[in-house]
A and B are shown apart, each in its own frame.
Chain A
């Protein structure tokens, strides 16, 4: 004959002392079957676990101690531990679902890295014609491109070339004048 467990809502759990068993009702909208499986698995070494489906939307988990003659306190502790484990399993599953894409991406990268460098044939087939990626912050630029000596713009280059030509002409005229004065001095 099932009896309510002290400290546990009557609708959620009850004890069957003659069978050394406790029954726990689980709402599957809160705790999916995977969470019930996970929690049950951790109790297989301590209890006999049986999962039933008495009505849609609910599981009924029966935990029986392996040694008969368990008292109410033992059964209450079992139910409490199972409920805690159930919550942990449900939460863990939710985290796995949320991070599934990340897990798959990291795994694929690890597998891709383990495959080693590409062969020459693979490189030959590789399409290098793609446009380079956008780099608005200049991260992909070399140091020389970013901080090196700037070449002057085209207009300035023409001006500086003209001034260089003029300076060369002046120097040539000065040299000619010096040669003339030397020649005159020598004749005297």
Chain B
């Protein structure tokens, strides 16, 4: 099992959710929420698979976040939405 922690200040919850949906068929995800982070626990067939799955999930969520922001404003859309990870 591998744990990824996405700070809410950096990653909108909706983008973390979208990334989890895209990679759902490659492993099992458990999602939790702390005061400051979205926490995703990943379980897959092997340690190497978990490493790769965690990396791809993080890259996908980061890519969505960067594409969804206003380049002159700097605020990703719905960054602070606590219900974003639904």
Chain A residues within 8 Å of B, Cβ to Cβ: 19, 32-34, 37-38, 40-41, 44, 48-53, 59, 64, 66, 68, 96, 100
Contacts and interface: CB of A to CB of B under 8 A. Distances in A.
Contacts, number: 54
B74 A32 contact: yes
Contact of A37 (B5, B59, B66): B66
Nearest to A103: B72
B36 interface: yes
B85 interface: no
Interface string B7-38: 10111000000000000000000000000100
The dominant DSSP class at the A interface is mixed
Interface string B39-78: 0000000001001101110110011011001011010000
Contacts of B52: 66
Contact of A33 (B4, B10, B54, B72): B10
A53 B55 contact: no
Contact of A100 (B4, B9, B66, B72): B72
A53 B10 contact: yes
A95 B23 CA distance: 38
A40 B66 contact: yes
Contact of A53 (B7, B62, B65): B7
B34 to A, nearest CB: 12
Given A34-B74, A68-B51, A48 B66 contact: no
Contacts of A53: 7, 9-10, 36
